[in-house]
Structure 1
Amino acid sequence: MSTRFTPREMLEKLISFNTVSDRSNLDLISFVETYLGEFDISSQRVPDETGSKASLHACIGPAVDGGVVLSAHTDVVPVEGQSWSHDPFLAWEENGRLYGRGSADMKGFAATVLAKVPDFVAADLARPIHIALSYDEEVGCFGAAPLASDLLARGPRPGYAIVGEPTNMRVVTGHKGIAVFKTRIQGHPAHSSQLHRGVSAISAAAKLISWLDARTAENKAEADPECPFEPPYTTLHSGVIKGGEAHNITARHCEFVTDIRLLPGDSKEAWLNAYKSFIEAEVLPDMKAISADCAIDVEELAYVPGLSEEADGLAETEVRRLTGDNARHVVVYATEGGIFQEHGLSTVVCGPGSIDQAHQADEYIELAELDRCASFLDRLVAGMTQKQS
């Protein structure tokens, strides 16, 4: 007899797997494979290069085009340094809330989808439901692109995708993208009393960070007042920096990490090219005039495209119909939605829980949110059982 779970029971199970991004998620993936297998549903792993992590996708229903992808990531953020009142990987309930790491971000959606699998199987689906579970969303959305590519290559081709990040079941039709890069600067050490003989990598970093800050200020001044994002412009921010050996030595080395939060449609390449041009034209020549060993290297660490609002998009049309939410919602954080959209799928973000709980100590989801998501999936299935003429 196949195992059945309520959304809450499934969420408790998923929380019990410690899938912090620096760990393997294969125990969770194996559990889902076995669970789906009990309903005679085959699934496909899409492993990472190390083989220690994998995404998973499965197709339920007829092998025809035009279905829907229900997408969630399996990884969660660390708990170290946070003050949890209970074991973060042992779910507990209080006052109508289920607590545990990943409860809101975003195992709540994954759990509700998986708990509904028996209903998906029992329904007379006219179009298929694709389940897509990824790895490493929290550290750069590294698993989503291979997952989307494999799902589409195997077919059938879905009509649209729902990424179930916590939106309180509101329909989010756009989000910013993010580009993360590290700048490494090689200076030339000299005693600070002979400053003219040295090149301070820290001073060079200061020039570059000032340039990045100036671009943000320009974007703010030129922002479109009708832009729905807050803030309504692309931002460039350096959040980590280290360098130098002593107060009286010009720094031999400095490095810092920058993220650019891109408006949808804004070009990552254009920003990085402008940054590198400034380095080559305005910063590096003066450094090399003192020492040919000086260098500046820019390494791209991660990129997640923004989700663009779609004119008459299928995903928006369908999910608004199912939720009754006709308001305009966009968010400034990145999701895997932009990746599915880049792969040609109409996409929205809509899922249970609040983003305010994401990454917090004593993270929780309201159990009523799981109920709302379950009802949403019931309506989704009911609409997909209606044979099209």
Structure 2
Amino acid sequence: MNHRLSLPPGQGLNDVVSLTQALVRIDSSNPDLGLDSGAGETAIADFISQWLQTRDIECYRIEPTKGRPSVVGVVRGSGGGRSLMFNGHTDTVSLSTYDGDALSAEIQDNKIYGRGSADMKSGLAAAMIALATAKSLNLKGDVILAAVADEEMASIGTEQVLQAGWQANAAIVAEPTEMSIINAHKGLAVFYVEVSGVAAHGSRPDLGIDAICKAGYFLVEIDRLSQRLELRWLEQGNPKLGAPSIHAGVIKGGAEVNSYPDSCTISIERRTVPGENLVEIQEELEQILRKLTREVPGFTAGLRTGFSRSPFGVASDHSFVKLVAEHATVVTGATPQIKGETYWTDMALLADKGIFGVIWGPKGYGLHAAEEWVEIESIQHLVDAFVRIESEFCK
């Protein structure tokens, strides 16, 4: 585990640049991504906890899954005000895919480089500074930091923070958005279709049923469904997030070339938009399987539901969206774009629990790529805006 800090967490690190550098220098690569054995979030959770405690900020460690801790910090208001949560994930993708020193946190041309500099340790650092600043603002409402594990995989961190009972009236997820305000994004659902065949020697077609060949009929129907989803979305005249989509990501079947395979499993990803629900999506797939069972001799298959996450959406004229946009404009001198995105974030989990909010973060590039960096000016603007937002929302 590489845990290289320029200063102990109680000394210095009171500005967003040095704090971002300190966070980047901690290896917190997600251990469940499969590329290599990631370090996990223990070291960075230790660091954040010490940073908060040194500043006399209430700090709670949430770790139902051993070795995957999340940290909650809270500055209590005097009472009677609205609460605001800053949410940021502590994990990163693999260091092995980075070209050069992934933990360097070096500064060049007013940019901080390194794995997680953009995604999303700079946004997390801005939230930490804003939380510490809240102590001097005499607010009525609480300001909460949720520094969560595992966003890059299954988002168990935010789930566990919510399960522990943490709530807020609004939230900002400080993912890198190039300073655009994201008020909607897609959800996703994973399904598994298991096509059954009959095993037999390759010379005995009279005895065997080829599960892989039968699966081909289903793949054709998935392609047709994808086209229908696109057409339906265009007809509705709402291009904001792009069309819902479906594709077959993985297909597995067969043991050797000279045998008829008795099974074939197709893993399907369905990207969803606000207004769609899991029951209707599953029924769409069940209808395809029933049709093929009727029409294709020897076709037998079953459907399993896997992992799913809700889409997220809040109106662009919502009062909180307008509040964030107002302060973003003042701080940056430019009116931010308010838009939807195709990716998924932990904001959907918060929204599922009634916490409205936005995704808003710095100008960062190279996410999950061979080189990653964040623009320093944008994270400085972010801190200033975060403080202005909490000052007004929680007053």
Scaled by the length of structure 2, the TM-score of the pair is 0.86
State whether residues 184 and 313 of structure 2, in contact with CA within 8 Å, keep that contact through their aligned partners in structure 1.
Answer: yes
State whether residues 103 and 363 of structure 1, in contact with CA within 8 Å, keep that contact through their aligned partners in structure 2.
Answer: yes
**Aligned partners of 1:37 and 1:284: how far apart in 2?**
65
**Structure 2 counterpart of 1:58, from 70, 73, 91:** 73
Structural mapping, 1:1-389, within 5 Å: 2-5=10-13, 6-22=15-31, 23=38, 24-48=40-64, 50-62=65-77, 64=79, 65-80=81-96, 82=97, 84=99, 86-152=100-166, 157-224=167-234, 226-230=237-241, 232-280=242-290, 282-283=292-293, 296-300=302-306, 302-310=307-315, 312-324=317-329, 325=335, 327-354=337-364, 356-384=365-393, 386=395
**Aligned partners of 1:68 and 1:60: how far apart in 2?**
10
Residue by residue over 1:221-280, the C-alpha shift from the partner in whole angstroms, topping out at 9 and shown as x without a partner, is 1224631335x3210011222322233322233333221110112112211233134335
Deviation, 1:186, is: 4.2
Structure 2 unaligned blocks of 5 or more: 1-8, 32-37, 330-334
Instruction: Identify if the C-alpha distance between structure 1 residues 313 and 31 changes in structure 2 by more than 3 Å, giving closer, same or farther.
Output: same
Instruction: Identify if the C-alpha distance between structure 1 residues 297 and 63 changes in structure 2 by more than 3 Å, giving closer, same or farther.
Output: farther
**Aligned partners of 1:328 and 1:45: how far apart in 2?**
34
State whether residues 113 and 374 of structure 2, in contact with CA within 8 Å, keep that contact through their aligned partners in structure 1.
Answer: yes
**Aligned partners of 1:240 and 1:138: how far apart in 2?**
20
State whether residues 78 and 139 of structure 2, in contact with CA within 8 Å, keep that contact through their aligned partners in structure 1.
Answer: no
Larger mean CA deviation between 261-270 and 239-248 belongs to 239-248
Letter in 2 for 1:10: L
State whether residues 191 and 303 of structure 2, in contact with CA within 8 Å, keep that contact through their aligned partners in structure 1.
Answer: no
Report what 2:3 is aligned to. none
Letter in 2 for 1:144: T
Letter in 2 for 1:367: I
**Aligned partners of 2:16 and 2:294: how far apart in 1?**
57
Instruction: Identify if the C-alpha distance between structure 1 residues 265 and 34 changes in structure 2 by more than 3 Å, giving closer, same or farther.
Output: same
Scaled by the length of structure 1, the TM-score of the pair is 0.87
Instruction: Identify if the C-alpha distance between structure 1 residues 83 and 111 changes in structure 2 by more than 3 Å, giving closer, same or farther.
Output: closer
Deviation, 1:184, is: 3.8
State whether residues 141 and 304 of structure 1, in contact with CA within 8 Å, keep that contact through their aligned partners in structure 2.
Answer: no
CA RMSD after TM alignment = 2.5
Deviation, 1:214, is: 1.4
Residue by residue over 1:168-223, the C-alpha shift from the partner in whole angstroms, topping out at 9 and shown as x without a partner, is 22111111111123334443222334324212221233222222221111111122
Deviation, 1:305, is: 1.1
Instruction: Identify if the C-alpha distance between structure 1 residues 223 and 381 changes in structure 2 by more than 3 Å, giving closer, same or farther.
Output: closer
Structure 1 unaligned blocks of 5 or more: none
Q: Percent identity?
A: 21
Letter in 2 for 1:61: R
Instruction: Identify if the C-alpha distance between structure 1 residues 128 and 72 changes in structure 2 by more than 3 Å, giving closer, same or farther.
Output: same
Deviation, 1:60, is: 0.8
Instruction: Identify if the C-alpha distance between structure 1 residues 78 and 252 changes in structure 2 by more than 3 Å, giving closer, same or farther.
Output: farther
